[in-house]
């Protein structure tokens, strides 16, 4: 996605529309057999290496709401800065829904949300 965004920015600049690329949070999704694996932002090690005081929480949730049959487990690891409570990154794995869920986290990272702001988002 970074290459796509960079290409669009180059094209806009060549055509006279000044565009800057603000950066990325490194969102990626891939499939390993029947599992979806995703990440966005920094993990614990990367957070420490970049000068943060990271804390992490591991959450086991479901791929669908409790009223919807057929949900499967999703394992989520979230990393935040201890001092500012700013969300720094997340890693997820599950059989379904992971690829869609990581997008909300990517938007929160791009917006530099704190954990308190993120948990108040009205998501489906």
pLDDT, one tens digit per residue, over 64-78 is 888 889 999 999 999
Structure tokens at 44: 């614990």
For the chain, the domains span 26-119
Mean pLDDT of 38-55: 97
* Residue 39: per-residue pLDDT: 97
Is residue 104 within a helix (H) or strand (E), and if so which, with residue range?
helix 98-110
CA nearest 86: which of 60, 52, 44? 52
CA nearest 98: which of 117, 81, 77? 77
- Residue 120 three-state SS: coil
The CATH class, in words, for 26-119 is alpha beta
């Amino acid at each position: 996605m970074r290459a796509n965004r960079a290409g669009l920015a180059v094209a806009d600049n060549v055509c006279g529309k000044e565009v800057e690329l603000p950066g990325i949070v490194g969102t990626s999704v891939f499939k390993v057999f029947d599992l979806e694996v995703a990440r966005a932002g920094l993990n614990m090690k990367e957070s420490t290496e970049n000068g943060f005081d990271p804390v992490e929480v591991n959450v086991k949730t479901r791929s669908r709401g409790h009223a919807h049959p057929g949900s499967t487990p999703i394992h989520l690891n979230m990393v935040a800065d201890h001092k500012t409570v700013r969300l720094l990154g997340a890693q997820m794995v599950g059989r379904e829904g992971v690829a869609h869920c990581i997008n909300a986290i990517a938007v929160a990272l791009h917006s530099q949300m704190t954990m308190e702001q993120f948990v108040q988002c009205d998501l489906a």
